[in-house]
Structure 1
Amino acid sequence: MSTADAGAHRTQARHTLILAVCVWMASVGNLALWQQIRALPEVSGPRGLAFALGFALGIAGLLVALVAALGWGRLLRPLLSLLLVATAVGAYFMLSYGVVIDPTMMVNVVQTDPREVGDLLNLKLALALLGLAGPGLWWVWRRPLQPQPLGRQLGVHLALIVGGLALTSGALMAIFQDFSSVMRNHTQLRYLINPLNSVWALADVAATPFKRDTRRLEPLGQDARLAPRPAGAKPPLLVLVLGETARADNFSLNGYARATTPELAREDIINQRNAWSCGTNTAASVPCLFSALPRDEFERRPYNSETLLDVLQHAGLAVLWIDNQSGCKGVCDRTPHVSTAELKDPALCSGGECFDEIMLRGLDERIAALDPERRARGVVLVLHQMGSHGPAYFKRSPPAFKRFLPECTSNALQECTREQVVNAYDNTIAYTDHVLAQTISWLKSRESAWSPAMIYLSDHGESLGENNLYLHGLPYGVAPDVQKHVPWITWLSNRYARERGISTACLKARQDERVSHDHYFHSVLGLLGVQTSAYRPELDLYRPCGG
């Protein structure tokens, strides 16, 4: 054998590499999809096997066409490597937590900070990367590619594109009756097609500037002004506590068997027991929550608008956002805001993370630093909690609040029993109960100088293993209620209720009426007496009771 022949044997053909890796991703990389399909009664038995085979061939064909279209020259192996890693990571999270990958989930990934990433790293993820991406990566990099003239490379890639699309068309036509029925009745399956789900989600996020004019910020409520206060009334001091991942079902205030909210139960609060979020993840819910638009209009908006905080500032109020999370998702960009990330309190902060009580430290000094003219009209503080952020629930509650044991002390929830997972989660709710009670206590102590009130509302809920689902982030239409049913708690001081003419007895009588994040913007404006054309009285839940 000549030296040239020996060298040829030590290289690999482009088309062989593309076909082998795409078949691997379409088959082994889609274990979560095959698991879901296996559970569908309409495609069980031999019919189900034929359906899965046709589906796999369709996915493989699309992947071949995609890689052939994008993987030119030296880009091929990095592209395949990236897709293999995305496949392995996607498969791990879909199998372990029951999540799916869609554009809103991709936004969360893009906005995730290093602290949140650390909560997701564990040995099982490393093993998944090794087992699902390792063989493919070895195949990709084991030998150099055969050199090809540009003309021949063009021919190979065009043949792969045409062949891949033909394979997909033929495979899906063969199973079309079952395919159309399954995809219509089980829409969540489309978010499990790995790694095409990640490719589509990333492309959708990248296309946002073409769907929405992100350079345009529409002014909102610039006509806002405060209604005159009664003679002798104190300026309002309203604390808006933005909860994280708190599900209403685990609040004993809502009938949960465990005493997770004993401190709030002793307070004179209004508890909206039928409140619903406008999203299932922080990146979707928080901007929607502070928007004047209802959920369906917010999702279709052609451009961004100013938020509730902007309108409050237009009205002349002093506003401050205090963050113990991963940021305000653009809501507080034009508002004074501070983060707890750099605080070094030995009792409340360790490992780059602070317990939520840290936001109550030094509040008087923070208020004193606000603009004095605005401060005289009233102050609105937003406390953005770490709350019940998972999967490392055990990190979110101090030792004194670990009432439910044993708790899961791993960020790989599948390593724990469901009882341990629920225990760890319930401990975070018990701690949130304490933080809210402490907030109310702090507000009560300021009643001589202010007219104080508090609203607590969570951004979304959480799955804790029901139907093998964990965490949150499923598309809104298919997400279970536990990811959308959220706590909404209001506390009004006697002074606040009296000066605003609000009947707390009336509000309590309406606690079971359905409300949602759509009501938040207008309810806060109404509670503060902010008059503006942006206000919609029919969405103000306090207005029927005198607010």
Structure 2
Amino acid sequence: MNSNRLPLFTRADNFVKDLTLTSNQLLLIVCAYIALILNLPFLFKSANAITGLDDFNWLFLITFPIFLFSITLLIQSLFAVKWLIKPILIITVIISTLMFYATLTYGIVFDYGMVQNTVESDSAELLSYLNLYAVVFFIVFAVIPAVLICSIKISYQPFLKELFNRITLFAGATLITVLIGTIFYSNYASVGRNNKDLIDYITPYKGIDSIYKFARKHYFYPPLKFQLLDTSPQIINKNNNKHVTVFVLGETARAQNFSLNGYNRLTNRYTANQDVISFTNISSCGTATAVSVPCMFSRLNKSNYDKRLATSQQNVIDIVHLAGTDVLWISNNNGSCKGVCTRVNTQQIATTKSNPLCDGEYCYDEALLQPLREKLHKLEYDNTLIVLHMIGSHGPTYFKRYPSNKILFTPDCQRSDIQNCTQEQLVNSYDNSIAYTDYVLNQIIIELSRLSETEDVASSMLYVSDHGESLGEKGMYLHGLPYAFAPQEQTHVPMIFWASAQVSNSTPDIDLTCLKNKSTNVFSHDMVFDAVLSITSVKSKTHHIKNDPFYGCKSASFVPLPLLESAKKIQTQSSGEH
């Protein structure tokens, strides 16, 4: 048969099968693909940084991709061993494509925190990113190149000649790297000094380095001895009246989309009528749940937070529980409590489809209300803390966070590849999720109000989100960027407090007028530990009164001033061990 009459794909397949390259040629082609295609986000960001220099040099800009290519070639040459060269190149292309997709589509970079967040995410959350666009992207940029690499024949030379050729290639790449680096040293220094985040975009080596560091720290370091920060915390309740605190742990809610904080859309139409106090200047400890949740409940502050250390010592939930408080953690977040609730009673909302509020993978946050009601009807202790962990506004499937009968803003984005929705649709979906969170918070307040009215129980609710979210601002989506250069959308979080009338009349009491006057002060997740102690009326030597927005608005006898020094000593010890 005439080969010209063969189908196009058959001829292409035959061409690839017949194509024979030396190992060096294969390295050159694949490294060029990794450096010049799969690193496009890094190259574009670098180009913007270079052209922004006062002494902008066109030659520096032109040689920059060559510099990246030569470094890629150097790294890959080190692992170009016979029989392993193809598997390693294929794995590198696959990892690079995944990172390329995440960075190009959502603005995500794979630093240590993102690796930790990814590893600790459940399968349902990871599958929420799967869509037709992602599948096609992966096939085009990873599967097809991987098949091509696998199909190409490699013509290996005798060992000594192969070794000589590899050394020659390595030496050539080294020479190019050194020459460009030397000639444009001042330019590289200037760009690096003013754009420290650039290194986080290098694909795939920054991600691989982060994976290595995460694995080394979490799987190879021996566990630390568990430390008791306070062995004798006490509940201060001179009137012996019952008190219930509901701590609502929000998910992916950013403060600027709350109408309580001045947003021009009525996203808080329910709680606006409940005389709540909204704290408008709260910053998160991290930009992802895996960091923010254990950090906010830890005595460690953002500046010295280390998860390994945090998990080896009491958190505020432990201390409140040790003081004699009945603690229950109810989660509608499949990512679990990140180790915070390990030593208290927990309840996970089942996502079974038999529950009309669930779809088999996720449940609407209204599912938290029934177990809350059941707990409120069976109060066995004078002091009770109930933590409700929401799914909140977790993306990219914002449209799955609110039922159809609670849609307020249309048209919304009914897909997971949110970058392909209009900005209006995306914001509408996100605002619907915030408005639904507000609805659930209002239902919690109603339950607590009913309890207070019928059984004269002092009750309060504190809502805090773990981190914020980017909705396409500056090309960024979702969350998880390194904190050093994360936008405010990912770090500015809401905090809402509500209390029944009995709280103002209890001992120790909370002066709500005083608290409102503090609502515009600058706070951070560092104060959550202390706020929980205050609200639950637990006195502990771990209490940092200067961190606590409630201190000064409570009975003066709640925390003796000498305890401040003890609290400072605890933090100094923790920092020293770290």
Distance in structure 1 (CA, Å) of the matches to 2:58 and 2:225: 51
Matched, 1:441 2:446: yes
Q: Which residue of 1 aligns with 2:484?
A: 477
Q: Which residue of 2 aligns with 1:248?
A: 255
Distance in structure 1 (CA, Å) of the matches to 2:215 and 2:32: 27
Kindly tell me: are residues 296 and 44 of structure 1, through their superposed partners in 2, closer, same or farther at Cα, counting changes over 3 Å? closer
Q: What is the root-mean-square deviation of aligned Cα atoms in Å?
A: 2.6
Per the TM alignment, residue 415 of structure 1 is displaced from its structure 2 partner at its CA by 1.1
Distance in structure 2 (CA, Å) of the matches to 1:301 and 1:342: 31
Q: Given residue 531 of structure 1, which amino acid in structure 2 is its aligned partner?
A: K
Given that 1:60 and 1:168 are in contact with CA atoms closer than 8 Å, whether structure 2 keeps it comes out as no
Match of 1:322, SS state, is strand
In structure 1, runs of 5+ residues without a counterpart are 1-7
Matched, 1:277 2:284: yes
Per the TM alignment, residue 132 of structure 1 is displaced from its structure 2 partner at its CA by 2.4
Q: Which residue of 2 aligns with 1:318?
A: 326
Distance in structure 2 (CA, Å) of the matches to 1:386 and 1:157: 52
Q: Which residue of 1 aligns with 2:559?
A: none
Q: 1:502 aligns with which of 500, 506, 510?
A: 510
Q: Given residue 439 of structure 2, which amino acid in structure 1 is its aligned partner?
A: H
Q: Which residue of 1 aligns with 2:383?
A: 378
Q: Which residue of 2 aligns with 1:327?
A: 336
Aligned counterparts, 1:82-481, within 5 A = 82-147=91-156, 160-209=169-218, 215-234=223-242, 236-299=243-306, 304=311, 305-325=313-333, 326-366=335-375, 375-447=380-452, 448=455, 450-481=457-488
Distance in structure 1 (CA, Å) of the matches to 2:317 and 2:86: 48
Given that 1:213 and 1:302 are in contact with CA atoms closer than 8 Å, whether structure 2 keeps it comes out as no
Match of 2:484, SS state, is coil
Kindly tell me: are residues 199 and 160 of structure 1, through their superposed partners in 2, closer, same or farther at Cα, counting changes over 3 Å? farther
Per the TM alignment, residue 98 of structure 1 is displaced from its structure 2 partner at its CA by 2.0
Kindly tell me: are residues 285 and 151 of structure 1, through their superposed partners in 2, closer, same or farther at Cα, counting changes over 3 Å? farther
Given that 2:279 and 2:494 are in contact with CA atoms closer than 8 Å, whether structure 1 keeps it comes out as yes
Match of 1:216, SS state, is coil
Provide Cα deviations, 1:518-541, integer angstroms capped at 9, x if missing partner: 000011112222222222111111
Q: Which residue of 2 aligns with 1:75?
A: 84
Q: Which residue of 2 aligns with 1:5?
A: none
Per the TM alignment, residue 491 of structure 1 is displaced from its structure 2 partner at its CA by 0.9
Q: Given residue 77 of structure 2, which amino acid in structure 1 is its aligned partner?
A: A
Matched, 1:512 2:520: yes
Kindly tell me: are residues 430 and 342 of structure 1, through their superposed partners in 2, closer, same or farther at Cα, counting changes over 3 Å? closer
Match of 2:266, SS state, is coil
Match of 1:289, SS state, is helix
Distance in structure 2 (CA, Å) of the matches to 1:151 and 1:532: 71
Given that 1:69 and 1:157 are in contact with CA atoms closer than 8 Å, whether structure 2 keeps it comes out as no
Q: Given residue 226 of structure 1, which amino acid in structure 2 is its aligned partner?
A: Q
Q: Which moved more, 1:101-110 or 1:223-232?
A: 223-232
Given that 2:287 and 2:491 are in contact with CA atoms closer than 8 Å, whether structure 1 keeps it comes out as yes
Per the TM alignment, residue 464 of structure 1 is displaced from its structure 2 partner at its CA by 1.1
Distance in structure 2 (CA, Å) of the matches to 1:268 and 1:537: 25
Distance in structure 1 (CA, Å) of the matches to 2:367 and 2:519: 31
Per the TM alignment, residue 49 of structure 1 is displaced from its structure 2 partner at its CA by 5.5
Match of 2:388, SS state, is strand
Distance in structure 1 (CA, Å) of the matches to 2:513 and 2:460: 16
Provide Cα deviations, 1:353-409, integer angstroms capped at 9, x if missing partner: 10011011133445688xx8xx42422111111101111111111112211000111
Per the TM alignment, residue 175 of structure 1 is displaced from its structure 2 partner at its CA by 2.6
Per the TM alignment, residue 285 of structure 1 is displaced from its structure 2 partner at its CA by 0.9
Distance in structure 2 (CA, Å) of the matches to 1:400 and 1:9: 60
Q: Given residue 484 of structure 1, which amino acid in structure 2 is its aligned partner?
A: T
Per the TM alignment, residue 486 of structure 1 is displaced from its structure 2 partner at its CA by 0.5
Distance in structure 1 (CA, Å) of the matches to 2:196 and 2:475: 18
Q: Which residue of 2 aligns with 1:489?
A: 496
TM-score when normalising by structure 2: 0.86
Per the TM alignment, residue 244 of structure 1 is displaced from its structure 2 partner at its CA by 0.7
Match of 2:224, SS state, is strand
Given that 1:224 and 1:531 are in contact with CA atoms closer than 8 Å, whether structure 2 keeps it comes out as no
Kindly tell me: are residues 356 and 186 of structure 1, through their superposed partners in 2, closer, same or farther at Cα, counting changes over 3 Å? same
Distance in structure 1 (CA, Å) of the matches to 2:133 and 2:359: 25
Per the TM alignment, residue 102 of structure 1 is displaced from its structure 2 partner at its CA by 1.1
Given that 2:257 and 2:431 are in contact with CA atoms closer than 8 Å, whether structure 1 keeps it comes out as yes
Match of 1:141, SS state, is helix
Q: Given residue 533 of structure 2, which amino acid in structure 1 is its aligned partner?
A: L
Q: Which residue of 1 aligns with 2:540?
A: 532
Given that 1:216 and 1:303 are in contact with CA atoms closer than 8 Å, whether structure 2 keeps it comes out as no
Distance in structure 2 (CA, Å) of the matches to 1:335 and 1:161: 57
Q: Which moved more, 1:423-432 or 1:411-420?
A: 411-420
Pairs aligned (count) = 534
Per the TM alignment, residue 152 of structure 1 is displaced from its structure 2 partner at its CA by 5.8
Distance in structure 2 (CA, Å) of the matches to 1:217 and 1:160: 50
Per the TM alignment, residue 271 of structure 1 is displaced from its structure 2 partner at its CA by 1.0
Given that 2:326 and 2:383 are in contact with CA atoms closer than 8 Å, whether structure 1 keeps it comes out as yes
Distance in structure 2 (CA, Å) of the matches to 1:152 and 1:308: 65
Match of 1:273, SS state, is strand
Given that 1:62 and 1:168 are in contact with CA atoms closer than 8 Å, whether structure 2 keeps it comes out as yes
Q: Given residue 187 of structure 1, which amino acid in structure 2 is its aligned partner?
A: K
Per the TM alignment, residue 138 of structure 1 is displaced from its structure 2 partner at its CA by 3.3
Q: Given residue 433 of structure 1, which amino acid in structure 2 is its aligned partner?
A: D
Aligned counterparts, 1:14-93, within 5 A = 14-40=23-49, 42=51, 50-93=59-102
Match of 1:109, SS state, is helix
In structure 2, runs of 5+ residues without a counterpart are 1-16, 556-578
Provide Cα deviations, 1:198-222, integer angstroms capped at 9, x if missing partner: 1122122123259x95511532334
Distance in structure 1 (CA, Å) of the matches to 2:260 and 2:424: 21
Kindly tell me: are residues 458 and 11 of structure 1, through their superposed partners in 2, closer, same or farther at Cα, counting changes over 3 Å? same
Provide Cα deviations, 1:24-66, integer angstroms capped at 9, x if missing partner: 1000111112222343473589966533443323322332233
Match of 2:98, SS state, is helix
Provide Cα deviations, 1:387-440, integer angstroms capped at 9, x if missing partner: 011111111111122110001111111211111110000000000000100111
Provide Cα deviations, 1:129-168, integer angstroms capped at 9, x if missing partner: 2332245323311134445666666555555555444433
